[in-house]
């Protein structure tokens, strides 16, 4: 199983926040604008994987990127693996 985290840009206030895939927020945590059905820009930033035998969580740091509110890639952040 893998769990993906998105970095999401709010279409109303342009701030970015984090969401789990398949558990997207209904509204922006900053300005409260509804995000359902909006043209949201989501960038996949990291995937979690679980070892089903040990329960250990691992992170795929190769997907760890940061975007600016304009959606432009701002480069890699520190490896979190
Ligand atoms: Zn907002």
pTM of the full predicted structure? 0.60
Ligand 1: centre distance to CA 81 (Å): 30
Dihedrals φ, ψ of 13, to 5°? -110, -5
d(CA 10, CA 34): 9
Ligand 1: centre distance to CA 80 (Å): 27
Mean pLDDT of the chain: 77
If one counts every other C-beta atom within 10 angstroms of the C-beta of residue 58, the result is 12
Ligand 1: centre distance to CA 31 (Å): 4
Dihedrals φ, ψ of 32, to 5°? 80, 5
Does 10 score more than 70 pLDDT?
yes
Does 35 score more than 50 pLDDT?
yes
Ligand 1: centre distance to CA 28 (Å): 5
- Range 3-42 burial, b when 16+ CB lie within 10 A, else e: ebbbbbbbeeeeebeebeeeeebeebeeeeeebeeeebbb
């Amino acid at each position: 199983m893998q769990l993906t985290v998105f970095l999401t840009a709010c279409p109303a206030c342009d701030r970015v926040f984090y969401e789990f895939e398949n558990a997207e927020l209904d509204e922006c945590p900053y300005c409260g604008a509804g995000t359902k059905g909006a043209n949201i820009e989501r960038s996949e930033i990291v995937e979690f994987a679980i070892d089903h035998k040990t329960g250990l969580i691992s992170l795929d740091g190769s997907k760890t990127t940061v975007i600016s509110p304009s959606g432009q890639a701002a480069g890699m952040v520190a490896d979190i693996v």
